[in-house]
Amino acid sequence: MILRQDLPLSRLLHFVANRIVLFFLIDILIAVGYVFYDVKWIAIPELPVGLIGTGLTIFLGFRIKAAYDRWWEARILWGAMVNWARSMARRCEIYTSSAIEREEEDRIRAYQRQFTYWLIAYVYALRSHLRRHESLAELEQWIGEEGTARLRNQKNVPVAILRELGRMANEAFRQGWIDSYRLTSIEDGLAEITNVQGGCERIKNTPIPRQFDYFPRLFTNAYCMLLPIGLVSSLGLLTPVASSLVAFMFLSLESFGSHIETPFENTINDIPMTALARTIEIDLKQGLGENRIPAPMQPVGGFLF
């Protein structure tokens, strides 16, 4: 996620450089042909570039709005994930603490720690799952070698972890540490977390309709091609400068929409899932009373991942 107020021009140009160079060369050819070689037919001063530009701006605005809605929904889902992870860790602690007896306290405390650590592992596994990264090596620090071995052949590691958490809750019920009402409450929480994951997977696996991607790019390219034809009769050799500046603005808008529509691709436009997962880890470990707490994630170069 981008946090810095200013973005380097070089980073903006990175996304549109090829097309800007192409359109700039076309602008030069049109301007030189019109001024030095008397190719007057190439100029169409009556071309309504202003009207076309206004329509294109509105069209690109709808495109950006559709992309931003996806990005914001993804952020809402991860905000819900933070809340539900905190809630589930609290339920595990409160529900089982009422059953503590002197001879079983160590077992219940170990159970609370195991449940919480598997919950932390789930959050990191979901982040890696959405980014299509391997996660088992990272998860070993929370669930151990035996835990990762049980997950090794799973296609959807986060779902497998949720099943393990469900089994842990059922084991607590079997041991008499929680009653059926509290078991149902924990299961309801796991169901809400499942819904959050399903929402994230829907955004990840359902691309924005291709028309929303194809036509804005087509219309933007067409406008950038027509712009020097409409300007050259009045601007002459200044046409490449003016036309390229306008093209840069429209190309940047079109590129912005295409990049924020995929919030789980491990780019600077991503939802900061690693930072959010670290926040959950810190909160849950502090809830356990642990002393070795990791530091919050810090922006790198103005970007938070």
pLDDT tens digits along 168-179: 999 999 988 999
More confident of the two residues 276 and 99: 276
- pLDDT for 232 beyond 70: yes
pLDDT score of 8 more than 70: no
pLDDT at residue 249 above 60? Answer: yes
Q: Give residue 221's region: left, alpha or beta (phi > 0; psi -120 to 50).
A: alpha
d(CA 233, CA 40): 8
Q: Is the pLDDT of residue 274 over 80?
A: yes
Nearest to 131 by CA among 172, 78, 87, 182: 78
> For the ranges 111-115, 215-219, 297-301, which has the lowest average pLDDT?
297-301
Calculate what percentage of the chain has a pLDDT beyond 70. 94
Average pLDDT, the chain: 89
Q: Which residues contact 172 (CB under 8 A, 6 or more apart)?
A: 95, 96, 111, 178, 183
**Any residues with CB less than 8 A from the CB of 114 and at least 6 apart, and which?**
168
Q: What gap in Å lies between CA 114 and CA 120, rounded to an integer?
A: 10
For residue 48, the tally of other CB atoms under 10 A from its CB is 12
Q: Which residues pair with 265 in a beta bridge?
A: none
The whole model's pTM is what? Answer: 0.89
Structure tokens at 6: 């200013």
Phi, psi of 266 (to 5 degrees): 60, 45
Cβ–Cβ < 8 Å for 146, 193:
no
Q: Which residues contact 202 (CB under 8 A, 6 or more apart)?
A: none
What share of the chain has pLDDT > 90, as a percent? 51
Q: How many CA atoms lie within 13 A of 225 on its CB side?
A: 6
**Choice between 95 and 103, residue whose per-residue pLDDT is larger:** 95
**Whether pLDDT at 244 is above 60:** yes
Distance CA 123, CA 86 (A): 11
